[in-house]
A and B are shown apart, each in its own frame.
Chain A
Amino acid sequence: DAGVTQSPTHLIKTRGQQVTLRCSPISGHKSVSWYQQVLGQGPQFIFQYYEKEERGRGNFPDRFSARQFPNYSSELNVNALLLGDSALYLCASIPEVGEAFFGQGTRLTVV
């Protein structure tokens, strides 16, 4: 059984560009959440999706958007990148109840 997979693992973008990050949850998990982890901090919640619908949104600007597909995979999009968007972006795969499993993350560097 595959774990949570995220792609790409590393990414370098220039300020003002747009980026799309991808996540495939564990088979059978219908909920996906996205988190941003800035160096030296704990992960901060960005979005939660369940059955293709947005269930929650953290305190992030509208430049951040996401969606979930019928196969429960998800994409996180960030427009007009800023230097401060440099972080590790983590995807969590969540069953109906219980453990939340994380992928290895996508490390985004904005230069």
Chain B
Amino acid sequence: GEDVEQSLFLSVREGDSSVINCTYTDSSSTYLYWYKQEPGAGLQLLTYIFSNMDMKQDQRLTVLLNKKDKHLSLRIADTQTGDSAIYFCAEIPPGNTPLVFGKGTRLSVIA
């Protein structure tokens, strides 16, 4: 079966950088997304990257894409306690099919 894979937990100290990794399933996926989910809330779109890009930076967020290895990462610089949440990686495989999500990485930020 096809699975988007993420490590389940990550713990960092406030002020450090966080790197959340994801392995997706289809090298032809057109868009790759990162969503943030706080307790009891819906999904907040953080950023996304087109498959023809290697990197995208948006303020404290940096997304790196390695298409050969089907690896996506999200780096959060100067991690704050407000960044504590679950982060989901998602892809849209070819054929305008729906988003396929990983199980999420729970980021805990220690003050």
Using a CB–CB cutoff of 8 Å, the interface residues on chain A facing chain B are 6, 33, 35, 40-45, 48, 55-56, 58, 88, 90, 92, 98-105, 107
Contact = CB atoms under 8 A, between A and B. Distances in A.
B99 A100 contact: yes
Nearest to A90: B42
Given A42-B102, A42-B103, A100-B33, A56 B97 contact: yes
Contacts of A33: 98-99
A102 B98 contact: no
A48 B98 contact: yes
A57 to B, nearest CB: 10
Given A42-B104, A98-B31, A104 B99 contact: no
8 contacts: A6-B42, A42-B4, A43-B99, A98-B31, A99-B48, A100-B99, A102-B35, A105-B42
Contacts of A105: 41-42
B101 interface: yes
A65 B41 CA distance: 24
